Amino acid sequence: MNPRLSFALALLVLLACAKRGEAPSRATLPGMTAPQNGEPPHAAKKPHKVSSPNGEREDPYYWLRDDERKDPEVLGYLAEENAWRDKVMAPQQAVEEALFAELIGRLTPNDTSVPYLERGYWYYRRLEEGKEHPIYCRKKGDLQAVEEVLLDANDNSRGHAFYSVAARAVSNSGRLFAWSDDTVGRRQYVLHVKDTATGSVLQDTATNLDSDIVWANDDRTLLYVERDPTTLLGYRVMKHVLGETQDSVVYEEKDKSFYVNVSKSKSGAYIFIELQATTMSETLYADVSDPALRFKPVLPRSADHEYQVEHVGRDFIIRTNSKGAKNFRIARVPIGESSKLSAWKDLIPTQTGRFVEDFDVLTNAVAVNYREDGLLKVAITPLTPKGKPVTISADEPSYTMFLVPTPELERGKFRYVYQSLTTPPTTFDVDVKTGTKEELKREQVPGYDPTQYATEYLRANARDGAAVPVSVAYRKDTPRDGSAPLLQYGYGAYGASIDPEFDRDWVSLMDRGFVVAIAHIRGGQELGRAWYEDGKLLNKKNGITDFIDVTHVLVEHGFAARGKVFAEGRSAGGIIMGAIANMAPSNYRGICAEVPFVDVVTTMLDTSIPLTTNEMDEWGNPATKEYYDYMLSYSPYDNVRAQGYPAMLVVTGLWDSQVQYYEPAKWVAKLRELKTDSNPLVFSIDMAAGHGGKSGRFEAKRDRAREYAFFLAQLADKP
């Protein structure tokens, strides 16, 4: 048969399978070849001194920083990198397109979220076939009523390369609908207000918002958080009154280590201003009916005390780590006595081995999301004497279940979502009185059969003896003889736990014989507060070595072939990717670093860079020599050296507000200068996106298709 005809037929078959949602052949995709040879871009080196109280460092690629994103030389270099990306990936273009078709074929064309009831309306969002963005809707009274469209994000996205909706809030009467959106990717949101009775969008607006919007009870006043235009830190709460052109300051936070949020209690009776630093928090409250909105603290802030507040009846229900509750407890206190910590009485005491992560309230019960043995679970505690505690059970070895707060205090049911690496998200209501579970919806995944896949939950011994949890999944027909390729994911920062959630994109890898794994490394809180503290500040390298040690264990136990291990991490997980590339390059066939935080010391020395001031308690202050030296010892950019590196795909967005594009740009430039191998190094810059990548449910799959095509190319190059 003609080779070109054979290729075309194979590709058509693959695309047809993807459209039907069927699993494609596990053989190497047609057209898979090694990346082309050629000369990649090499950034110029320009002398630049980075000063600190602990000495100067030379940074020849510092010039790639352009805060305005307008410098022709910088933009020209980024364009050259994208052109090189296209050249290297050209032989895999057909594969990438086939994967893209497969990934979007696994999305449900038409879908509707589980509705929730709030003040007489059922709210939900819809996705329509062929459309990128959600449609936000409601129905009055019951679900058989006529649908009212509050916001069609598809209409608003027209003419914008990027579009994202953040906050949405309905006024007390239900007539006014406010939302904020972003057309750049910088997460500097713009406020809009719609009169649902007339359908008209009011002239009222504000710019440079954080994502929170809250209505007062008068249907005229709303609160939002304004961002500092330079640091992008939400630092003050503003009050906007409809029809007025000048907004007033309600609260301004002077300490730049705090994030500022505004919310409303589930009861609707109070507005909260929530102030959160890495190891300290404070909540202010005001009666929503108070025209002056006078705020006072639930409890004034104090060192190392974190707490979060909800309202039920005459009491505040509080998650707190006070009184030695390192893994947190749930307390109850009369509102008028909240400023006295001695009045906070245990509702759910702290327990060894159980980390209380979140909670929700009804008038007659409290539900907690807690971690035990690394897994996120749900338990219900009654607020009435005759009520019985309820603990939700699960059948799989690795899973997660998280609470979904609903607005109605009197509904008598809590809502949660259960999922695993092999079970799609499934929404349940659980009755507080009977403990009976009702399945409301399981997400549909076209062509996916969960019975063909398996998941396991392991412990990998780290070099210092710590037992690192690992969630693993694979097709049941994947050989367990040490021949399979592996994709290993990790994060390890801020106490953010990476749960074994279902990833429909990973099915494409598992169907090609991959094992997928999440390394629950230190720096998260999977095993409680101590797990986090053992992976931050002067313990940061524990998370890096955990990731490497998990790889060793998975290879030794036959989950993967030694020469077929791929690693992926994003944002703060980019530190892990950069550090393992420096410390253990031979362990990995390929690495994908997405929006990676890799220039730790220089960034943390510069408080003008967005979010730096909030991070000192996570990474340390490099103005102090102990932290400066320690951060230098692992910072990926500072430790690039002349050695061989794995194949690497680095992804960023020009408008990234969390990790500025120039961090990975500098890192790639230095890697190109010093690496001694011939493995591909591909740098992909989305010129119209930020930290979250492309907007839109279909276009968001473009980067994932490129990543998988990149990994598969490395296997095709050297089987």
Amino acid residing at 458: L
Active site residues: 571, 656, 691
CATH number of 45-105+580-719: 3.40.50.1820
* Mean pLDDT calculated for residue range 685-697: 87
Residues sharing a CB contact under 8 Å with residue 293, sequence separation 6 or more, in sequence order: 216, 221, 223, 239, 250, 271, 286
Containing 355, the helix (H) or strand (E) segment is: strand 354-361
Q: Is the pLDDT of residue 6 over 90?
A: no
Given this model, what pLDDT does residue 312 score? 96
Residue 719 pLDDT greater than 70, yes or no: no
Measured distance CA(474)–CA(506) in Å, rounded: 9
pLDDT of residue 226: 96
Q: Of 8, 11, 10, 29, which is closest to residue 508 (Cα–Cα)?
A: 29
Query: Are 163 and 147 within 8 A, CB to CB?
Result: no
- What lies within 8 Å, CB to CB, of 424 at 6+ separation is 442, 443, 444, 445, 448, 450, 502, 504
Phi (first) and psi of residue 479, to 5 degrees: -60, 140
Q: What is the pLDDT of residue 224?
A: 97
What local confidence, expressed as pLDDT, does residue 612 receive?
A: 80
Average pLDDT over residues 311-317: 97
pLDDT at 19 over 70: no
Q: Rounded distance, CA 691 to CA 187, Å?
A: 9
Distance CA 237, CA 241 (A): 13
d(CA 610, CA 688): 19
Asked whether residue 29 carries a pLDDT value surpassing 70, the answer given is: no
Predicted pLDDT of residue 611: 72
As a whole number of angstroms, the distance between CA 65 and CA 45 comes to: 13
Q: What is the pLDDT of residues 677-689, one digit of tens each?
A: 999 999 999 998 8
Mean pLDDT of the chain: 92
pLDDT of residue 30: 31
**Band of the pLDDT at 15, cuts 50, 70, 90?**
very low
Quick check: 650 pLDDT over 90? yes
Contact assessment for residue 291 and residue 255, using Cβ atoms and an 8 Å cutoff: no
Report the share of the chain in percent with pLDDT over 70: 95
For the entire predicted model, the pTM comes to: 0.90
Q: Is the pLDDT of residue 633 over 60?
A: yes
d(CA 211, CA 204): 17
Answer yes or no: is pLDDT of 8 > 70: no
**Looking at the predicted structure, is the pLDDT value of residue 604 above 90?**
yes
Contact 657, 186 (CB under 8 A): yes
Where do the domains of the chain lie?
A: 45-105+580-719, 110-152, 160-297, 305-350
Per-residue H/E/C for 222-287 = EEEEEECCCCCCEEEEEEEECCCCCCEEEEECCCCCCEEEEEECCCCCEEEEEEECCCCEEEEEEE
- Look at residue 470 in the predicted model and tell me its pLDDT: 98
Residues in CB range of 431: below 8 A, 6 or more apart: 412, 413, 437, 438
Work out the average pLDDT over 566-575: 96
Output the pLDDT for position 2: 33
Residue 138 reports pLDDT greater than 90: yes
Band (pLDDT 50/70/90 cuts) for residue 718 is low
Read off the pLDDT band of 598 (50, 70, 90): very high
Right CATH for 160-297 from 2.102.10.10, 3.40.720.10, 3.90.400.10, 2.130.10.120:
2.130.10.120
pLDDT in tens, 223-246: 999 998 888 889 999 999 999 989
pLDDT above 60 for 36:
no
Residue 194 in 3-state DSSP?
A: strand
- Is residue 340 predicted with pLDDT exceeding 90? yes
User: Distance between CA atoms of 636 and 602, rounded to whole angstroms?
Assistant: 11
Q: pLDDT grade, residue 717 (50/70/90)?
A: confident
Averaged pLDDT for residues 409-431: 96
Mean pLDDT of 90-98: 95
Do 359 and 403 form a contact (C-beta atoms < 8 A)?
yes
pLDDT in tens, 488-501: 999 999 999 999 99
Q: How far apart are CA 297 and CA 286, in angstroms?
A: 9
Q: Can you tell me which residue has the tokens 């997405």?
A: 594
Task: Provide the 10 A C-beta neighbour count for residue 64.
Answer: 24
Q: Is the pLDDT of residue 25 over 90?
A: no
β 515-519/315-320 pair status: unpaired
pLDDT per position as a tens digit, 37-69: 478 999 999 999 999 999 999 999 999 999 999
Question: pLDDT grade, residue 377 (50/70/90)?
Answer: very high
What pLDDT, on the 0 to 100 scale, is given for residue 11?
A: 29
The rounded distance, in Å, linking the Cα atoms of 652 and 598 is: 12
How does DSSP assign 453-503, residue by residue?
A: EEEEEEEEE-TTS-EEEEEEEEETTS--SS-S-EEEE----TT--------
pLDDT of residue 26: 32
